[in-house]
């Protein structure tokens, strides 16, 4: 796994003595992006080869909740059935805000316009969905329900610019197996379409003919094999959250966190490195989806979060991924959630948050935790004074989560970057057009090379804006787009 | 200048019909890094060609103060003359802290060990230095003095881990022309060594022979010309602060700032893009040197900075570049410097800071500026209470800059990201060994390709740690290293 031991330097076609495989489209990586790419290419009439480093399909997608972020067009069938109307413009605006200062407008537009069709497509390939809505702020519910509020839709500033609507669509699954259900359905369809699958086969180099990509070198059964791709090679090997060297060079803030990442074990950045080896630019490599699920219990959203200086810094009703990103902006690795007796419940195991101090007054807790006198107490006083009026002029938390924290006993729960936060996955990746075509830093396209999923920098590209379901939405939608584009190219090239 | 109009796709050597130029080493870019690279290569006995896009030498280096960050080994002659002893270990530790979570230890070690020799070398090539020390916290002094405190040496947390010492060495120059003096001396030496210079010649592609770089294509006199490099091509074209597309994709936080960058007009990222085009990895591309020179007058360092919520967030005696980086972590684009009558002086033009409110009490100012009641006043109360005892338990400002802000009339001076801050230059660039050898993301070296200055990611790679003189120090020291390495390679290749 160590990147030092491999070199991804491209192979010249002149140095390939023999093609062991030949296909229209070669897909590398078999998570939800790779599966969708293979399907897209096969749908376009291409003969498809799929290489996966693991011994089975699924990748990191299979470890996720399976949530896909969908809406617009008046609403999906599930949104409508549950009384939610969702316009494409609200959906678009939310996705643009979520993409941050470099949101990819072309990509967001395609996705917003195509989301209803995409949902129908997922159902058509066999992903099962119920039609029920689970209210509140569920985190990885695993109840078999479909629709959830999965981001910062109801929170400032998103709520001011896009009408809130739940858009997370979970496959019908009990427990945390939603992602597995999603990928299994895709994989069945991949097989039904006659895609040739090879497991335990890792890509080690791209084969170049001048500036064009014409194939890929894989290592399988202890041997090096060369696969020719007439239409293109599609890189779908996930992100780089397991590659320590890349993390240090691209996202060094990660060193403040635990290594409790969401990965099936292959997010070593190899796809990104293969793309870079032939001139592909990797962008927004400092962005990650880090999260701090400080609830359930949901009542704790009514508490307030402070940094080590006793300062509040965000509306606590925002999505936990956004909150975690703001935590990383603070100096100091420890945070406290302040609650009172009215909202306190035993924290869930998931939240990994612990009681640090209990007292009759905030003054007492301020002293007990060694805060500088007047810091914690002034923060709570300002919060309580406004919360009593249903206001939060400083951080704009929604009225329904506001209450004065004044019913003793009072408590401070503590969480710590290194112990409590989840650095789930990386959001940076190869710069690519919505077709998946990998681009150089100057915007030009590398002929024959495509990327999708977290190997590309897609819809989600800003930790502060991430909402659950955006990554799998991007993987499946733009995976399929890349497959189609490479399949088309095979026909015309 | 638009990156859309050019493609930096590499040229195969098979497609080069004729070499218009031939040399051992070809240097692209004629700022301080390029000049030092050319000298280094010539010193190693190489025949050197130097291409520069502008009509003269200097690049962005010529616009800087000319400061070079040097020390260790007991101190430079100027440090010692002025009573400063500086150990190599203190110098090393400071540089490591300044490099942030991914400081390049090998590079820092070489630099710390070689700094005294480097100073002697700069003098030997004709850079003039006086031997005087200018005390205090000077910002671009232009007094002709040499030694200044040019970073966060005396500020927390740096002061805790490395004994403070002034290390900024300015060339003898009056006004802001120190960088010009530096580059002119280097350029004279370049010419004395017989380096062939070509101006108005911009590199547009690297020439590849398999995985090796064997030359460069330049555009000069409206024609495309090919230059063969037996030892290597050294990219020294500066950073990308003028390339809007790259800024959006790599450092989107820049959109919060003005476009008042420090650039001679050619920091368009072309060198980085050329390196990427052949598989070079660009790292720490989100890091910038942004600064907020809220003083002179130096007495204002005794004021406190608050964000739009009235919260303090840093020790105000840190280097202004570090302070500006912390400002970017805050929500809201406006900041206030709180001062009292004892320390207030008319702000300098450079600082671009303006009086926003004056009052007899902080309460009055809090209301006048529309702060939420209790926010600004509690921040000042906590600060004043401790400052009276010479303490700053929250932000650890040094005692000598602490005083209660209580002598009416009181004032809040306002500064704004878009109007007041200087986004000077980018710190991200090609990953390179200390020899300048450009690396792929997997750590392997691209044969025949070198980078230095802000085209590479060098010593300065973390906005929060930047100190004045680090970039020119890196440009000249590692420019020379790259020149030598490429020169050596020409002899042995």
Tens-digit pLDDT string for chain B (493 aa) = 333 345 788 999 999 889 999 999 999 999 999 999 999 999 999 999 999 999 999 999 999 999 999 999 999 999 999 999 999 999 999 999 999 999 999 999 999 999 999 999 999 999 999 999 999 998 888 899 999 999 999 999 999 999 999 999 999 998 768 999 999 999 999 999 999 999 999 999 999 998 899 999 999 988 999 999 999 999 999 999 999 999 999 999 888 887 777 787 889 999 999 999 999 999 999 999 999 888 989 999 999 999 999 999 999 999 999 999 999 999 999 999 999 999 999 988 888 889 999 999 999 999 999 999 999 999 999 999 999 999 999 999 999 999 999 999 999 999 998 888 888 899 999 999 999 999 999 999 999 999 999 999 999 999 999 999 999 999 999 999 999 999 999 998 7
DSSP letter, residue A89: H
Whether A442 and B282 lie within 8 Å, measured CB to CB: no
- CA distance to partner chain A, nearest, from residue B349 (Å): 31
Report whether pLDDT(A127) > 90: yes
Show residues of chain B in contact with A157, CB under 8 Å. none
Render pLDDT for B186-226 as a digit per residue (tens, 0 to 9): 999 999 999 999 999 999 999 999 889 999 999 998 899 99
When scoring A442, A444, A464 by the number of chain B Cβ atoms within 10 A, the one with the most, hence best to mutate, is A442
The end-to-end CA distance of chain B, in Å, is 35
Q: Compare CB distances from B441 to A252, A272, A286 and report the shortest one's residue.
A: A272
d(C-alpha B111, C-alpha B334), whole Å: 38
Nearest C-alpha of chain A: how many angstroms from B373?
8
**A268 → chain B, closest CA residue:** B442
Contacts of B10 in chain A (CB under 8 A): 211, 279
Selecting from A246, A286, A382 the residue whose C-beta is nearest the C-beta of B372 gives A382
Across the interface, whether the CB atoms of B255 and A101 are under 8 A apart is answered yes
Measured on CA atoms in the order B429, B138, B392, B303, is the torsion positive or negative? negative
Indicate if the alpha-carbon torsion angle B289, B292, B297, B300 is positive or negative. negative
Within 10 angstroms of residue A297's Cβ, the number of other Cβ atoms is 15
A&B contacts, CB < 8 Å:
151
Would you state the structure tokens that stand for residue B391, as one six-digit string? 């303490």
- Please tell me the pTM assigned to this model: 0.94
CA–CA separation, B166 vs B133, rounded Å? Answer: 9
C-alpha–C-alpha distance, residues A375 and B378, integer Å: 8
Confidence of residue A48 (pLDDT cuts 50, 70, 90): very high
Residue that wins the pLDDT comparison between A186 and A8: A186
Summarised one tens digit per residue, pLDDT across range A319-354 is 999 999 999 999 999 999 999 999 999 988 888 889
Residue of chain A whose Cα is closest to the Cα of B439: A277
| C-alpha–C-alpha distance, residues B407 and B343, integer Å | 9
Q: pLDDT above 70 covers what percent of chain A? A: 99
Rounded to a whole number, what is the distance in Å from the CA of A133 to chain B's nearest CA? Answer: 34
**B9·A211 Cβ contact <8 A:** yes
Q: What is the ipTM of this complex?
A: 0.92
Residue A5's pLDDT is 43
Phi and psi, residue A441, nearest 5°: -65, -25
Residue among B216, B214, B220 at smallest CA distance from B200: B220
Give the span between the Cα atoms of A490 and A47, in whole angstroms: 9
Interchain pair B211, A10: CB under 8 A: yes
């Amino acid at each position: 796994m160590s990147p030092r031991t491999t070199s991804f330097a491209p192979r010249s076609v002149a140095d390939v003595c023999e093609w062991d495989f030949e296909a229209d489209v070669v897909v590398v990586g078999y998570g939800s992006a790779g599966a969708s790419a293979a399907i897209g290419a096969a749908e376009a009439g291409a003969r498809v080869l799929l290489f996966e480093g693991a011994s089975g399909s699924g990748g990191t997608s299979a470890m996720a909740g399976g949530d896909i972020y969908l809406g617009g067009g008046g609403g999906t069938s599930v949104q409508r059935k549950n009384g939610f109307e969702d316009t494409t413009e609200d959906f678009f605006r939310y996705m643009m805000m979520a993409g941050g200062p470099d949101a990819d407008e072309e990509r967001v537009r395609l996705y917003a316009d195509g989301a209803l069709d995409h949902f129908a497509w997922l159902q058509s390939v066999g992903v099962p969905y119920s039609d029920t809505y689970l209210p509140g702020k569920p985190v990885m519910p695993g109840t078999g329900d479909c629709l959830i509020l999965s981001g910062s839709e109801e929170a400032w500033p998103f709520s001011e610019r896009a009408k809130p609507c739940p858009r997370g669509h979970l496959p019908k699954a009990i427990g945390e197996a939603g992602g597995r259900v999603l990928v299994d359905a895709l994989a069945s369809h991949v097989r039904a379409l006659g895609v040739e699958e090879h497991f335990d086969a890792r890509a080690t180099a791209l084969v170049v003919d001048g500036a064009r990509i014409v194939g890929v070198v894989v290592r399988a059964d202890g041997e090096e094999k060369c696969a020719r791709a007439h239409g293109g090679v599609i890189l779908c090997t996930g992100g780089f959250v397991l590659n320590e060297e890349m993390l240090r060079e691209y996202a060094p803030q990660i060193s403040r966190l635990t290594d409790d990442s969401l990965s099936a074990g292959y997010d070593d950045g190899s796809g990104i490195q293969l793309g870079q080896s032939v001139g592909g630019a990797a962008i927004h490599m400092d962005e990650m989806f880090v999260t701090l699920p400080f609830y359930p219990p949901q009542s704790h959203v009514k508490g307030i979060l402070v940094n080590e200086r006793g300062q509040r810094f965000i509306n606590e009703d925002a999505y936990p991924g956004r909150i975690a990103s703001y935590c990383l902006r603070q100096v100091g690795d420890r945070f406290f959630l302040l609650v009172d007796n009215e909202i306190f419940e035993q924290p869930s195991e998931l939240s990994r948050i612990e009681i640090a101090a209990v007292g009759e007054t905030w003054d007492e807790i301020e002293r007990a935790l060694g805060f500088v006198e007047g810091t914690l107490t002034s923060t709570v006083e300002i919060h309580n004074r406004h919360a009593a009026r249903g206001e939060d002029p400083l951080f704009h938390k929604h009225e329904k989560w506001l209450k004065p924290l004044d019913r003793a006993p009072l408590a401070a729960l503590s969480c710590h970057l290194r112990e409590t936060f989840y650095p789930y996955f990386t959001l940076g990746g190869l710069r690519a057009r919505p077709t998946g075509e990998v681009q150089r830093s100057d915007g030009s396209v590398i002929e024959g090379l495509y990327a999708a999923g977290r190997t590309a920098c897609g819809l989600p590209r800003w930790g502060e804006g991430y909402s659950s379901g955006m990554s799998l939405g991007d993987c499946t939608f733009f995976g399929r787009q890349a497959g189609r584009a490479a399949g088309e190219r095979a026909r015309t090239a």
